Amino acid sequence: MKLNPTRTIMINALLICLVSLLSFCKKDNNSTPVNSTPYTQYGTPFANVPSPQDAIIYQVNIRAFSNDASLKGVTARLDSIKALGVNVVYLMPVTPVGVLKSAGGLGSPYAVKDYKAVNPEFGNTDDLKALVDAAHSKNMAVMLDWVADHTSWDNAWISNKSWYKQDANGNIIPPTGTNWTDVAALNYDNQDMRKAMIDAMQYWVYNANIDGFRCDAADFVPFDFWKQANDALKTITTHKLLMFAEGTRADHFKAGFQLEYGMAWYSGLENKIFGNNGSVTQLSALNTSEYSGAFAGSQVVRYITNHDVYNSDGNPIALYGGKAGSMAAFLVSAYMKGVPMIYNGQEVGCTRGIDFFYHTPIDWSTNPDMTAEYKKIIAFRKSSDAVRNGDLATYSSDDAAVFTKSTAKEKVLVIANLKGNAVTYTLPIGLNTTSWKNAFTGASVSLSGTIALQPYQHMVLTQ
């Protein structure tokens, strides 16, 4: 078909415009996203934030950590945290605590009075900056606890009534389905509140150079806000931020969190297995279910205690049948799959009450043998690609957690009796008549037939 010359000229012109438009769009899409924050960066962004699968998290309850319950007290003990093998320090809320309708004691650190200030009980913003600087100098990232679901009743935001959830009579209410009467529930239908929340999160990234957030009560906050917040924080391209959801919703990884709490793992391990003598084989199903919504690089954070359950359930020594039992529980949690988290005092076998509503200093001089074992477990995990990234195969019995983690170059076998009595474990095909090396001592180990395991005996073998 012969084209009209005028039409040909018009088509060529349109093609030129289209190519120009596509070139402009391509250039725009590849440019660094514009960050509208008004803040200036303090310090140099930390370049060595670990990948999620390599994280070793240490939770600091500031009121318990040092004799003076201060940020300076945390800074003074960073070498001890580092010596465990930790590379992420997670600070419980550093923000001022509300007084109006306080839940008692010193008030809950989760009753946030001001999202952009430091609790004077702990020090000031310069003290926080100094802590972050010191942690970075020791190759550790710092994560802040972030409370997005609610504020204290005397937070300045309360003057914006539409920023909060209300009952049928227009009264601001606590979070639904809780007994958290000391806090007021935020309304995520309000876009201005959302913007203010994201702005406050950005404030700390810039003004204290922090490396991520552990987001409290994440299940209470809508998915679309977490997606919005994570997307906004990703525009800070100078930082590699770790985002950690305290929740179990299947959509947290989809919202942009790399880390999520292993609440079902804790409950199964502590209550069903140690508390009620249940079968250890339950751990395999829990492991599978907790990773059902995970993406490549997503990790479940495994713990045997934290600030909440230490208060409500008891200390690990009491919960897991003594020192040996608590170490066996930690080993399995740290190696089977996921990222280990240690709550301050756990590594010295602390048994005193640690109530985060009060000042309850930890005695750091107890149980050096436990501290030494924590160091060994963490050090091998950090050195072993198989433990961190290998394929999992489970061989557990009702009494013993038994599993391998394998790569093409390395295979690690974990055997841990999770019962308070001696048990006999029968080796399955694949493990029977095999030779190994003790991961901690280097001693040769041959396995054949059965293994007699003392109460809570645990071992790590490699080949």
pLDDT digits (tens, 9 = 90+) for 105-129: 999 999 999 999 999 999 999 999 9
pLDDT band at 176; cut points 50, 70, 90: very high
Residue intervals of the chain classified under CATH 2.60.40.1180 are: 400-462
Shortest CA distance to 91 belongs to which of 144, 46, 47? Answer: 144
Read off the pLDDT of residues 355-381 as tens digits, 9 standing for 90 and up.
999 999 999 999 999 999 999 999 999
Is the predicted pLDDT of residue 208 greater than 60, yes or no? yes
Alpha-carbon span 45 to 40, nearest angstrom: 12
Domain with CATH 3.20.20.80 in the chain: 52-389
Distance CA 278, CA 397 (A): 11
DSSP one-letter code for 273: I
pLDDT of residue 25: 40
Distance CA(110)–CA(61), nearest Å, equals 12
Number of continuous H segments (helices) and E segments (strands) in the chain: 14, 18
Per-residue three-class SS string for 239-257: CCCEEEECCCCCCCCCCCC
pTM (two decimals): 0.91
Buried b (16+ CB within 10 A) or exposed e, 171-208: ebebbeeeebebbbbbbbebeebbebbbbbbbbbbbbb
Instruction: Tell which CATH architecture fits domain 52-389.
Output: Alpha-Beta Barrel (3.20)
Mean pLDDT score, 414-442: 97
- Over residues 279-337, the pLDDT tens digits come to 999 999 999 999 988 998 899 999 999 999 999 999 999 999 999 999 999 999 999 99
- Cα 94 to Cα 37, 99, 381, distances in angstroms: 22, 15, 30
Phi, psi (rounded to 5 degrees) for 45: -55, 140
Q: What is the pLDDT of residue 9?
A: 36
pLDDT of residue 14: 39
Class of the CATH domain delimited by 400-462: mainly beta
Least confident of 36-40, 52-56, 145-149, 290-294: 36-40
